[in-house]
Amino acid sequence: MNHSNSRSSLVRLGLLIVLATVAACSHPVQRRLEGRWIGESIENVDQSFLAGATGWAKGMSFEFAGDKLTVIIPAEEPRTGTYTVASVHDERVILQAKRPDGTFDPVELRLQDEHSLQWILPSGASVRLRKAN
């Protein structure tokens, strides 16, 4: 018996088990969010702020990679942290995004379809985002 082939087979099997375990642990919503989402428009803001708010919304994006979320906001440094899915009810999803200081911020999303979602801000405004290709 060739120990080299046996060892490499065990390594491959181990990698497959690790990959299957990681995939099984992620929430279905995490898999659906995976990728980059680009801001398109903003709703429910005062008309006097609409032009500036629209520019801000079009400049922002979310990027989901596994349990990592990167938020890119115009004129700010991108922020990356881990997140978990706190709750899902129909299309309403609440995430818990971890800050560097260890505290958590809730992030409310409404999943529209496979290519669009809304980020509901605490003010009641919402940013529409589309999935990048």
Instruction: List the alpha helices (DSSP H) in 26-133.
Output: 28-33, 50-59
pLDDT at position 100:
85
d(CA 49, CA 54): 8
Residues 114, 96: Cα–Cα separation, whole Å: 21
Identify the three-state secondary structure at position 7.
helix
pLDDT band at 22 (very low <50, low <70, confident <90, very high): very low
**Yes or no: domain 28-131 corresponds to CATH 3.40.50.920:** no
Helices (H), 34-133: 50-59
Domain ranges of the chain: 28-131
What's the whole-number average pLDDT of the chain?
Answer: 85
Average pLDDT over residues 46-57: 94
